[in-house]
């Protein structure tokens, strides 16, 4: 029988990990970190040992196919169709995470006609969207969104339940049930911890003859809430179901909430489990379901239940840091009050700012709270360099209920100092700075890149001497450096090496940011956060930077560093407007509390595995590059880091002079636009049914209108321009023609991908 059919609570899930031999086992370890994070037991099998895996199937709950699990030395999985079906009948799950290749899916047809499946290409990086109705693999126990894929599946077998479709309506994830188990196939789902837990929870319910129709559990917090679980019973007999929620505060006894209910044969029921929490601080929660004598854990969650009073600095927001040359005139405190039995109407608040010696410098009282969450400003005198405390006190009458503190530091200026202002602009040496950077630039190419107008480059950490040599060379060419430290941040953080780098390099005038990690997998989030906190402790003069390539993870990864960069590479095949979409998603994810930088592509994304001259033969055209870059600007990028200059033979701008010419042109234009782009006066908009992207920025003689046709088609648009004077003439910048207003409307025609810039 299948290993976990007894469903003992907290017994480890047993997983057979199937991997291919392609490219020296490149994807062998793809899911190791997340499986360790989950505490699941796993054993690896190369596809060349398929017979051994089939013989061991009875030992496992899940078979997890890593990317390219049957690519290279292709095996005949269909020859073992009977064993695969028996595995699923007993309650096993087959999870194929990367069905972008025919050899990974065509064998499924041998399981039966209902399993027929194939693969076709689709638009690169096309966002996936959920199909309707929503499937329980999307919401139990975690809310998920599908990822992005460059291929989709063609499911001609009639037994598939579609879970997700891409933006073109094609299938990127599906499941087919067999007995007590199922096969899950995906070409666009990043299988992080939450997705795998959804697979496991759904499989456990299926073993019990149950299926989830709905699920909702709010984040743990003080007060009353409830768990809701909709169930369908597929059995011919009623099912008695017990839902248990156990919450264990740190250092205290667990609190348990239980609800028992019957689900009619072939029927449905809505289970509700109300609960009330009065504890605060760290706590763990476990939600279990019992039916037919078998118990399974649906969800485990760790949380910090909020204190009665919590505060954060809303201004200066960036790490509570300000410059002595630009001292804050006020401190703005973000306040959150989470009452249990307290009456919010009877509470009052006072805020004090004190220096390091404890002397009170400013005070502000709030007689009646405006709500549970609000911001409170406190005017302060001119603060010299030093450390300060901001203390909030919550009272009811004369009784003090809670105190919360945060800190503020005013820094003396240093030559290499980089801060982020409240408007999210970068401040270098006390002055605004708009990063125009480039990836993968060798030492010998730094002069040429500087001559193009770039002001920063990406460089590598890992070896202090080599990093210093690169920083020295960059400084000699007037360039700042995004110093990439990802080699020191994996499943564990190389603390000693990071400390060595920071001690040696933190005062180097070329250092711009600490580049903590590139495109981290969800399983590495804890390590990345640990590294960021280490950089913060060691160096208050430089921000941290991280790149994310999964829109689903923008929100999570925005919490891991000071700057979030995203790299939408839409070409070939995808619309360049993907840049705008990703920029908007990134800003939503950061809630505009952290800067977003964009990474336009300079390379042929589709031909990395080819040999020259085919390798890198189809990079973006200058028109595409121009369009993508201006989409970054219009959609609020606080920095641009093009990728790459040199990614090996024929790959990158180094090998394509027309792209170098376009980069030089773009840098010159952006340098001229920088004061307006950094201005607080800006309005973004769309025209022509969203096909034209627009931005008005700046003021006075430095006010500009930027317009971008994000499509490959000619079109006309009428631009509403309330900032202009009626019938005003608009000067065309960068060789463009003038524009004439009709009233306050500007009629224009656009060529494909055309950018227009006006000054008015």
pLDDT average, residue stretch 184-209: 90
361 domain residue, yes or no = yes
271 domain residue, yes or no = yes
pLDDT average, residue stretch 689-711: 95
Q: How far is residue 242's CA from residue 221's CA, in Å, rounded to a whole number?
A: 23
Element (H, E) at 473: helix 464-476
pLDDT of 5 > 80? The answer is no
pLDDT for position 3: 44
**Which residues are within 8 A (CB) of 513 and not within 5 positions of it... i.e. 6 or more apart?**
418, 482, 483, 542, 543, 544, 545, 562, 563
One domain for residues 277 and 322: no
Q: What is the pLDDT of residues 310-351, one digit of tens each?
A: 999 999 999 999 999 989 999 999 999 999 988 999 999 999
pLDDT interval class at 148 (50, 70, 90): low
- Structural domain of 666: 431-673
Q: To which residue do tokens 């390539």 refer?
A: 549
Of 158, 182, 207, the last residue of a domain is 207
Q: How far is residue 618's CA from residue 652's CA, in Å, rounded to a whole number?
A: 10
pLDDT for position 6: 38
Which of the residue ranges 168-172, 312-316, 725-729 has the most confident prediction, judged by mean pLDDT?
A: 312-316
Residue pair 457/441 in contact (Cβ under 8 Å)? The answer is yes
pLDDT for position 414: 86
423 domain residue, yes or no = no
pLDDT average, residue stretch 734-743: 94
In the DSSP assignment, the letter for residue 560 is: G
Q: Please, how many CA atoms are within 13 Å of residue 329, restricted to the half-sphere of its CB?
A: 0
Which of the residue ranges 122-136, 387-401, 550-564 has the most confident prediction, judged by mean pLDDT?
A: 387-401
Q: Which two structure tokens, joined as six digits, stand for 446?
A: 């730094």
pLDDT of 123 > 60? The answer is no
One domain for residues 444 and 591: yes
pLDDT interval class at 107 (50, 70, 90): very high
pLDDT for position 530: 98
One domain for residues 389 and 346: yes
One domain for residues 259 and 357: no
pLDDT for position 50: 98
**Percent of the chain residues topping a pLDDT of 70:** 96
One domain for residues 293 and 334: no
pLDDT average, residue stretch 407-420: 93
pLDDT for position 130: 62
pLDDT of 8 > 50? The answer is no
90 domain residue, yes or no = yes
Angle between helix axes 622-634 and 578-590 (nearest 10 degrees) is 20
Pairing state between β 715-720 and 745-750: antiparallel
pLDDT interval class at 43 (50, 70, 90): very high
Nearest to 92 by CA among 200, 7, 181: 181
> Which residues sit opposite 470 in a β-bridge?
none
> Which residues sit opposite 503 in a β-bridge?
none
4 domain residue, yes or no = no
CATH number at residue 259: 2.60.40.3880
pLDDT of 126 > 80? The answer is no
One domain for residues 376 and 514: no
pLDDT average, residue stretch 526-530: 96
Angle value at C-alpha 474, between 471 and 476, nearest 5 degrees: 110
pLDDT for position 125: 46
Q: What is the pLDDT of residues 421-467, one digit of tens each?
A: 999 999 999 999 999 999 999 999 999 999 999 999 999 999 999 99
Residue pair 445/645 in contact (Cβ under 8 Å)? The answer is yes
Pairing state between β 426-428 and 223-233: unpaired
pLDDT of 121 > 80? The answer is no
Nearest to 78 by CA among 58, 103, 95: 103
pLDDT for position 332: 98
pLDDT average, residue stretch 110-137: 77
Q: To which residue do tokens 């500009």 refer?
A: 704
pLDDT average, residue stretch 103-121: 94
One domain for residues 503 and 603: yes
pLDDT of 236 > 80? The answer is yes
Helical H runs in 480-597? 495-505, 525-538, 554-557, 578-590
One domain for residues 464 and 574: yes
Angle between helix axes 525-538 and 495-505 (nearest 10 degrees) is 40
153 domain residue, yes or no = yes
CATH number at residue 152: 3.40.50.880
One domain for residues 246 and 375: no
2 domain residue, yes or no = no
Nearest to 152 by CA among 105, 199, 94, 93: 105
Counted domains in the chain: 5
CATH number at residue 467: 3.20.20.80
One domain for residues 195 and 332: no
One domain for residues 347 and 330: yes
pTM listed for this prediction: 0.85
Q: What is the pLDDT of residues 579-607, one digit of tens each?
A: 999 999 999 999 999 999 999 999 998 88
One domain for residues 68 and 165: yes
Nearest to 437 by CA among 563, 316, 319: 563
Element (H, E) at 51: helix 50-56
Angle value at C-alpha 370, between 365 and 371, nearest 5 degrees: 125
Query: Which of 52-56, 116-120, 191-195, 349-353 comes out lowest in average pLDDT?
Result: 191-195
pLDDT for position 149: 66
In the DSSP assignment, the letter for residue 603 is: S
Neighbouring C-beta atoms of residue 483, cutoff 10 Å: 26
pLDDT for position 319: 97
**What's the first-to-final CA gap in the chain, in angstroms?**
76
Whole-angstrom CA distances from 512 to 168, 375, 448, 542 are 40, 31, 20, 7
421 domain residue, yes or no = no
């Amino acid at each position: 029988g299948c290993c976990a059919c007894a469903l003992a609570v907290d017994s480890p899930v047993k997983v057979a990990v199937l991997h291919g031999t392609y490219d020296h086992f490149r994807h062998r370890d793809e899911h190791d970190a997340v499986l360790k994070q989950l505490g699941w037991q796993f054993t690896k099998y190369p596809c060349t040992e398929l017979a051994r895996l089939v013989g061991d199937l009875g030992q496992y709950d899940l078979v997890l196919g890593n990317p390219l699990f049957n690519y290279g030395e292709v095996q005949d999985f269909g020859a073992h169709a009977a064993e695969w079906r028996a595995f699923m009948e007993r309650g096993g799950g087959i999870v194929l995470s990367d069905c972008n290749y025919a050899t990974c899916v065509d064998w499924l047809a041998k399981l039966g006609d209902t399993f027929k499946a194939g693969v076709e290409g689709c638009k690169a990086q096309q966002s996936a969207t959920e199909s309707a109705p929503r499937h329980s693999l999307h919401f139990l126990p975690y809310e998920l969104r599908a990822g992005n894929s460059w291929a989709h599946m063609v499911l001609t077998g009639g037994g598939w339940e579609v879970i997700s479709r891409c933006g073109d309506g094609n299938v990127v994830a599906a499941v087919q049930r067999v007995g007590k188990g199922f096969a899950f196939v995906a070409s666009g789902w990043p299988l992080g911890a939450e997705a795998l837990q959804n697979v496991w929870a759904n499989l456990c319910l299926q073993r019990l003859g149950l299926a989830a129709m709905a699920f909702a559990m709010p984040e743990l917090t003080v007060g009353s809430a409830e768990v809701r679980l909709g169930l369908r019973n597929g059995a011919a007999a009623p099912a008695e179901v017990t839902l248990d929620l156990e919450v264990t505060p740190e250092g205290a006894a667990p609190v348990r909430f239980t609800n028992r209910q019957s689900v009619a044969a072939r029927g449905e029921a809505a289970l509700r489990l109300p609960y009330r929490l009065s504890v605060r601080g760290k706590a763990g929660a476990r939600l279990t379901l019992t039916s037919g004598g078998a118990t399974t854990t649906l969800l485990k969650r760790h949380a910090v239940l909020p204190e009665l009073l919590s505060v954060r600095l809303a201004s200066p927001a960036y790490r509570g840091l300000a410059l002595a040359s630009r001292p804050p005139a006020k401190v703005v405190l973000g306040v959150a009050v989470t009452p249990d039995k307290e009456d919010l109407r009877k509470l009052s608040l006072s805020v004090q700012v004190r220096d390091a010696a404890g002397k009170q410098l400013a005070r502000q009282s709030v007689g009646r709270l405006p709500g549970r969450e609000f911001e409170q400003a406190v005017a302060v005198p001119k603060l010299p360099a030093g450390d300060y405390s901001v203390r909030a006190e919550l009272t009811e009458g004369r009784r003090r209920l809670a105190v919360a503190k945060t800190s503020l530091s005013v820094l003396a200026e240093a030559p290499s100092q980089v801060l982020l202002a409240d408007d999210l602009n970068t401040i270098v040496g006390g002055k605004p700075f708009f990063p125009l950077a480039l990836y993968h630039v060798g030492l010998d190419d730094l002069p040429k890149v500087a001559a193009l107008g770039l002001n920063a480059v990406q460089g590598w950490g890992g070896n202090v001497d080599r990093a210093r040599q690169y920083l020295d060379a960059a400084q000699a060419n007037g360039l700042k450096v995004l110093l990439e430290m990802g080699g020191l941040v994996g499943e564990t953080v190389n603390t000693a090496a990071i400390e060595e780098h920071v001690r040696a390099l933190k005062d180097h005038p070329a250092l711009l940011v600490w580049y903590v990690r590139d495109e981290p997998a969800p399983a590495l989030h804890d390590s990345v956060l640990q590294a960021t906190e280490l950089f913060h402790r060691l160096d208050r003069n430089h921000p941290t930077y991280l790149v994310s390539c999964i829109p689903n993870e923008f929100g999570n990864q925005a919490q891991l560093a000071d700057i979030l960069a995203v790299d939408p590479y839409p070409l070939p095949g995808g619309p360049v407007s993907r840049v705008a979409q990703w920029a908007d998603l990134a800003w939503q994810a950061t809630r505009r509390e952290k800067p977003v930088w964009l990474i336009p592509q300079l390379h042929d994304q589709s031909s990395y595995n080819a040999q020259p001259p085919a390798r890198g033969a189809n990079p973006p055209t200058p028109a595409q590059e121009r369009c993508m870059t201006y989409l970054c600007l219009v959609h609020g990028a606080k920095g641009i880091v093009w990728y790459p200059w040199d990614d090996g033979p024929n790959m990158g701008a180094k090998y394509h002079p027309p792209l170098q010419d376009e980069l030089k042109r773009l840098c010159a234009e952006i340098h001229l636009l920088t004061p307006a782009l950094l201005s607080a006066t800006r309005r973004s908009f769309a025209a022509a049914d969203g096909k034209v992207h627009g931005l008005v920025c700046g003021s006075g003689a430095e006010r500009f209108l930027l317009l971008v046709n994000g499509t490959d088609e000619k079109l006309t648009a009428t631009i509403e321009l309330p900032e202009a004077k009626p019938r005003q003439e608009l000067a065309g910048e960068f060789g463009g023609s003038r524009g004439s207003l009709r009233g306050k409307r500007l009629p224009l025609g656009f060529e494909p991908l055309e950018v227009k810039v006006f000054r008015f």
